[in-house]
Amino acid sequence: MIAPGPTLETERLILRPTSGEDLDGFAALMGDEEASRFIGGVQARAAAWRSMCTMAGSWVTRGHAMFSVIEKSSGRWVGRLGPWTPEGWPGTEVGWGLLRETWGKGYATEGATAAIDWAFDHLGWTEVIHCIDPDNVPSQKVAERLGARNLGPGKLPAPFEAAPVDIWGQSRDEWRARLRRRA
């Protein structure tokens, strides 16, 4: 069963709401020390299941959440990315977390671009942020490729309040102006 919500397609990816079949992928992502370092840290499979269910629940209660990222060429789950606004969050975020073996392929930028377009067009957001640890240089580079700039330090709600985070972001108008310049 798949949570209610849209399916988006990019050149190489399918973005769809969370499904029960995603558990192995969630567990692999959150069980990898390096891949999970900046997205909450290593979790046991049972905790990854709860995280997965949080995403599915957000689709039901908020009408959006991070999409499961499916690689078109293989059909396999490779991560989660997209709109994320849990209670107490510092803004309307599009975030990403991908399996380490897919890093460097441009999937985060490709998927986040589609998710940002969708958030602006269908959720009515007027800005998008990315909460990025100051040591997470790869995600900073993704944010820069998306046209975001570092807006300064931010604060996440419990239980992540001690985690250092910079808020990267841009307005809907900035996003659209950048896309027009590239067209």
Rounded Cα gap, residues 89 and 169, in angstroms: 14
Rounded Cα gap, residues 177 and 183, in angstroms: 10
Tokens representing 29?
């992502």
pLDDT surpasses 80 at 49? yes
Rounded Cα gap, residues 125 and 130, in angstroms: 14
Per-residue model confidence (pLDDT) at position 40: 93
Q: pLDDT tens-digit profile of 98-149?
A: 999 999 999 999 999 999 999 999 999 999 999 999 999 999 999 999 999 9
The amino acid that residue 75 corresponds to is: G
Per-residue model confidence (pLDDT) at position 100: 97
Per-residue model confidence (pLDDT) at position 123: 97
The amino acid that residue 112 corresponds to is: A
Q: pLDDT tens-digit profile of 21-30?
A: 999 999 999 9
pLDDT surpasses 90 at 1? no
pTM across the whole model:
0.95
Per-residue model confidence (pLDDT) at position 183: 64
Q: What percent of the chain has pLDDT over 70?
A: 99
